Every structure is written in C-alpha cells, then in structure tokens.
Amino acid sequence: MFPITEKKIISEILKHEGCADFITDLFHVNLLNNSVKPFTNFNSQLKSFIGISGKSPTEKVSIIDKGLLRKTIVKALKKRAFDSNLPYLHLAYYPKGYHTIVTFRVDCDVSDKESFFHLLKISEKYSFPLTWFLHLAFQESYIHEIDDIRKNGHEVQLHCYDHETYPSYIENKRNILKGKNIMEKEGFKVSGFVSPFGKWNHSLNRVLEEIKVNYSSEFAIGYDDFPFYPLYKNRRSKILQLPIHPICIGSLRKSGFTNHEMMNYFEKIITSKYERQEPIMLYGHPKNEIDNYPDVINFIFTTLKGLPDVWIATYTEYAKWWKKRLSAKYSVSIKGDFLTIKTDNTNPDLQLHIEKQDSLETYVPLLTAKLSMAHLKWTYRKEFTELSIDGIGSMLSDE
C-alpha cells in the first residue's frame, strides 16, 4: 500500500506511457496541485456523447474522463520537452507494423442460442475474432456448443450468472463464482471479466483479485482510453482495465437513431480513433440489438476490416501485449545528434516512438543502439485539436 499522492498518480500515468527517463525528469513535484486527484474518483453518472443529426446517445460512465486527463498530462509534458529542445520519446502503444488496435466485445445479455450463433456467423464471414462474455443464466443450456468457437480465434470469458453488479462483496462473489464454476466444468479457463451494466466498485475489484483474472473492462471506471490499473484506497488494483467506447447499437436505438444514422455514427467514431491512433474498442449485444440491425453490424465489421495496418485482437491478446510493454526496461541518452539506447529487450515487436517539435515523428526498435537522429526516417504527424483539463497544463509547463 502507498499514499495516492498527485506525484504517484502522474507517475502511474507516465509508467503506462512508457516515457524515457529524461522525459519523466522534466516533471517537477513542486508544480503539483489537486488537478490530477480526480483520477482516483470512481463515481459514475449519465453522460451524453457527441452524436449526429442533433441526436446524442447517453450512457452511465465514469464521472471523470480519465482518458482526457491522461492526454492533458502527456500533452503538457510534450510541450515541456519541446521547450527544452528535446524530443518526446516513449514506448510505442502497439506492436511493430500496426497503426492501432481493433477489438469487438460481445456482452451476451439474455442471449439465446439463435441470436448467439447468428452473430457468430456474421463475424466469421469477415474472419473477425470476437471476445464473448457469457451471461450463464442464459448460455448454460448450450455452453457445450460454444466451446468450438475458440478454434476459430474467438475468446470466451465471463460476464455473470445473474445480470447484476452488487455493492456487496458476498453477492458479487456468489454471482461470479457461480458463473465461473459452470465455465470451468466445461473446460473454459476464466481469465477475463466484464461486469453487468459496466459497473465497478471496490467489492467487485476484491472478488476479481481473489479469482485472479488478468483483465476487466468497466466503463463506469474508464472509457475511450488506453489500459490502466485503477488507483484507489491508497493502493493500485491488480486488475488491468481495458477501456472501451461505451456506446453500442442499443444506445443509439434508445436515442432514436435510424439505421443510416447509426452507420454514420460508427463511421465517425472509427475514423476519429484511427486517425488519432487510439484503440478502437467497440461492443454490442447479440439479443434484442445486433440481431435486429444486421446492416449496421455488417457495416461495422466491413469498416473495421477495411482499415490498413490494424491489429484485430482479442482482449487476452491485448492485455498480454500491454503487460509485456509495461515490463520493458530501457534508458536513453542524447548527446548532440546522437541517441543512445540501452536495453535488455530482444522482442522485435517493441518500439520507441519519437516526436519532435516540428511535427515530425519516427519509430525505432527497442534494441541497444547508438543512432544518428539526422539519419532516421522522419514523417509528418497530423496534429489534432483536443480538449484539455484546466490546471494540468500550467502545472507541468510553468517554471
């Protein structure tokens, strides 16, 4: 356990960023204020998301946009590096050769056999691996038929037995273990979880730590962001969060979107995230949603498959990659034009991403080397206007 200070919060964010030491050294403790404390706020509320045609979908999500908070800190740190005539250098977010990651999560709420295998058939038409989270009160009767889908690259994990997330540790444990035991009797290894209604609380986290899942995904704690470990009660959770975009076809239906408007909405979200090299993590439900909108789900899969250089992954693959990335150790020094990298890493998928003030960027292997920056292959990066959180930029950029 440790006190969750502002320094610890920012250190945790920069650890996931994978910054070089000379970048983190630019951060000064005496500039801290309470601007980052909301990172430990895990309350949720109903929020509206920017839609189209005057229609805005809603979902109950984290009251704090932790992704925006992280972006604001990183942006301010980049400015400090550039003002010091230094490049901004960090571990690349994705394996070598990939522009971003794409996942599609299936929450099998009340899904019968017909709706389950209907979605499976559509996904396999596109050779699109999905990560399925079972609602065992409804899938227990045909779970033996689900086993084979893993041979085609799909992942199958636990959603719940009864579709509820409780404030009580005892009730959460009863519900989760009941579903877990059914799956394990059928030969499934339960290593991932998503909660009913996307809720998160301390008692739920306690159960997930006890059963030792590798990851979880709840938009009540974070959404539209990179993976992170929640900080709460003076400790860091052991469960990696994989945030998603929290709006699904059902959310749009409730807000009165037509089929065409749904397709326009998802095209906008996918394009925006692809251009910004952010994770494209969508989700949906087979029953009473996807089964009624085959044209929309086909459009989503077609659009995602048409993106160049994307890694279409399952949740376990993404969690394993992120943990491997977090474990990478390296040091960098800069003298004149030369950049010296020291590391024990031999994994060719890991890279360093280097950005310069003049909107140039490049990637280099995370291998021990001495490189002339003038001889690296630089390309122009597109700049985007992003929102920011008041106070954070000034706390990192003011002397």
All structural domains of the chain with their residue ranges: 6-40+70-93+329-397, 100-321
Q: Give the confidence band of 389 by pLDDT, cuts at 50, 70, 90.
A: very low
Confidence class of residue 37 from pLDDT cuts 50, 70 and 90? Answer: confident
Q: How far apart are CA 238 and CA 100, in angstroms?
A: 25
Task: Give me the pLDDT at residue 137, please.
Answer: 98
pLDDT at 83: 93
Average pLDDT for 82-90? 95
Percentage of the chain surpassing pLDDT 90? 84
- Give the pLDDT of residue 154: 98
Q: Is the pLDDT of residue 396 over 70?
A: no
d(CA 124, CA 148): 13
pTM: 0.94
**What pLDDT digit, counting tens, does each position of 124-175 carry?**
999 999 999 999 999 999 999 999 999 999 999 999 999 999 999 999 999 9
Can you identify the CATH homologous superfamily of domain 100-321? Glycoside hydrolase/deacetylase (3.20.20.370)
Provide the percentage of residues in the chain whose pLDDT is more than 70. Answer: 93
Contact criterion met (CB below 8 Å) for 267 and 243? no
pLDDT value at 302 more than 50: yes
Q: Is the dihedral of CA 361, 363, 369, 372 positive or negative?
A: negative
Give 204-258 as a DSSP string: HHHHHHHHT-SEE--TTT--SS--B--EETTEE-SSEE-------HHHHHHTT--
Beta strands in the chain (DSSP E): 44-48, 58-62, 88-91, 100-107, 131-135, 155-160, 192-193, 215-216, 231-232, 235-236, 240-241, 280-284, 310-312, 330-335, 338-343, 351-355, 360-365, 369-372, 379-380
User: With 0-12 CB in 10 A as exposed, 13-18 as middle and 19+ as buried, what is 157?
Assistant: buried
The overall average pLDDT reported for the chain is 93
